[in-house]
Every structure is written in structure tokens, then in C-alpha cells.
Amino acid sequence: MTDEPLLRVSALSKFYGSRVGCDNVSFDLSPGEVLAVVGESGSGKTTVLNCLSTRLLPSSGTASYRMRDGQFRELYRMSEAERRFLMRTDWGFVHQNPADGLRMTVSAGANVGERLMAVGDRHYGKIRATAVDWLSRVEIDEDRIDDEPRAFSGGMRQRLQIARNLVTGPRLVFMDEPTGGLDVSVQARLLDLLRGLVTDLGLAAIVVTHDLAVARLLSQRMMVMKDGRVVESGLTDRVLDDPRAPYTQLLVSSILQV
């Protein structure tokens, strides 16, 4: 175990014409660390996520990732082939809407197996056994393996999407509102599952959410964004219990109490 970070982000900015997507965002992410990015809609948190996952190229700034061989590589200088390879082996991306991250017209088993086949696995029996294993880890019954995700509920689809992303043993997972649009009991189970998986696998994750409770449960560290800028960052408990920036104080005090 080294003390070196997994991901180093420095002065990342993205402008959409004259509008600011995100401005001067810098942070380090350690292996196994979960960072929550919170803020209201339009604060630039999804822009940050998309830039880091190379789905979007930033206007300026750098991000370097420590590859499995220990070498830092700058994300925006890699070739597209390398980036896409990274994306389907060492990284995962969990979309808010599972339909964006799943192939809705192929079976659950094939959804989980796709990444394995993409990296060259050519043994049907082994691929299927791995798929069965992963479905059980995300609490989907084995007999649903040949069903299409269209036949799944929202919570099941989200769990399937997580399995599909984790099957190649990634080290870094990006999550965009992973519990958005789910009702609270389903949300609770999903969070429980995610927390277990992240701890068991030692995953590093960047979770974008507007739900502070999700951030509290999942993350160790937190970054609060407003208008494309980071207004406050620190340990999650510290930020939520002792918010310093006026905007964070407003955000924390806006949580509805039941």
C-alpha cells in the first residue's frame, strides 16, 4: 500500500462557451477513498464527473491517474483506445438512469458478461459462472439471469448496473446520483449494498449526489460545489456537522426533518 493518490486533479475547468461548467477544481483521491460531490442542480458536479471519466474533455487543467503498474498517466493525453480500455477495465460508471448504463435488449447475464468478453474472455461457462456470482452479490436471483433488464424494477436495474461495472474488478468507480429516482426503502437497500461492496473491494469512488444523506452514508470526504466552484471541502462528518461556508450552512439547514 502506498500513500500515493490514485487520481490527481489540478485546476480542472470546463466552459460551455462563456458559461462556466466548472472552474478551477483540484483534489487528490486516495485508493479506497469515497469522495462525494454535492451541490444543487447546475452547480457543475456532473460536469466534473464527466470530465474526470473522460466522457467530456475539459477546457483546461489536468487529471492524472495511477495505472496498475504504478505509473501516473495524464488522462487527457491518452489515446482514445487507451481511455476506452481503462473505462471498461479499471473504471466503472454508474449512471443515474440505469437504461443509460445497461443494454436493455440483452439478458442480465450478458450485461454482466459484456466487459469480460470485451477484455478477451472466450469461455461461455466461466463467463456465466461469474455472472451468476455477481448477480447474487447484488441480490438478484440467479433465475433472473436470462431476463432482459426491461423486465426488472428500477432498484434491480440499478443493482444490475453496479454488478456490470464491478465485474472486472475496477479500482475507481464514478457514480452519478446512484440512488436518484428510487423510493426510500429501495434506496436504503442499495446504499447498504454499495457501502458493503465499496468496503469489501476497497474501491475508490467519486459519487455525485444532491442528497446529503447519501453523501453521509457513503463517503469519507466531501466537496461542496456552487456555480462551478468548490466552496468547501473536507471530511464528510466535519462538513455536515460544522459547515463553514455560508452556502454549505444553507444546504445543511435545508434538509427536511421527518
Partner 1 sequence: MTDIATYNFAYLDEQTKRMIRRAILKGIAIPGYQVPFASREMPMPYGWGTGGVQVTASIIGPDDVLKVIDQGADDTTNAVSIRAFFKKVANVAVTTDTASATIIQTRHRIPEHPLTAGQVLVYQVPIPEPLRFLEPRETETRKMHALEEYGLMHVKLYEDIARHGRIATTYAYPVKVEGRYVMDPSPTPKFDNPKMHRSPALQLFGAGREKRIYAVPPFTEVVSLDFEDHPFEVQTFDQPCALCAAENVYLDEVILDDHGGHMFVCSDTDHCEKRREEGHRGHLAPEMTEPAQ
Residues lying near partner 1 in the complex (CB under 8 A) are found at 80-81, 84, 88, 103, 106-107, 109-110, 113-115, 117-119, 122-125, 127-128, 145-146
Q: How far, CA to CA in Å, does 72 sit from each of 7, 16, 54, 176, 222?
A: 9, 28, 16, 25, 24
How far is it, in rounded angstroms, from Cα 14 to Cα 19? 9
Cβ atoms of 108 and 160 within 8 Å: the answer is yes
Task: Give ∠ CA 87-203-80 in degrees, rounded to 5.
Answer: 15
Q: What beta strand segments (E) does 47-183 contain?
A: 60-66, 72-74, 91-94, 172-176
**Smallest distance, partner 1 to C-beta of residue 122, A:** 5
Q: Of 108 and 218, which CB lies nearer to partner 1 in the complex structure? A: 108
CA-nearest of 206, 200, 201, 232 to 218 is 206
**Smallest distance, partner 1 to C-beta of residue 103, A:** 7
**Smallest distance, partner 1 to C-beta of residue 108, A:** 10
Q: Of 83 and 226, which CB lies nearer to partner 1 in the complex structure? A: 83
3-state secondary structure of 30: coil
**Smallest distance, partner 1 to C-beta of residue 139, A:** 21
Q: Of 81 and 184, which CB lies nearer to partner 1 in the complex structure? A: 81
**Smallest distance, partner 1 to C-beta of residue 119, A:** 7
**Smallest distance, partner 1 to C-beta of residue 131, A:** 9
How far is it, in rounded angstroms, from Cα 162 to Cα 42? 25
Q: Of 61 and 113, which CB lies nearer to partner 1 in the complex structure? A: 113
Q: Of 70 and 125, which CB lies nearer to partner 1 in the complex structure? A: 125
Place of cell 455472472: 131
Q: Of 7 and 127, which CB lies nearer to partner 1 in the complex structure? A: 127
**Smallest distance, partner 1 to C-beta of residue 38, A:** 33
Q: Of 39 and 113, which CB lies nearer to partner 1 in the complex structure? A: 113
How far is it, in rounded angstroms, from Cα 206 to Cα 46? 11
Between 154-166 and 184-201, two packed helices, what is the crossing angle to 10 degrees? 10
How far is it, in rounded angstroms, from Cα 231 to Cα 211? 17
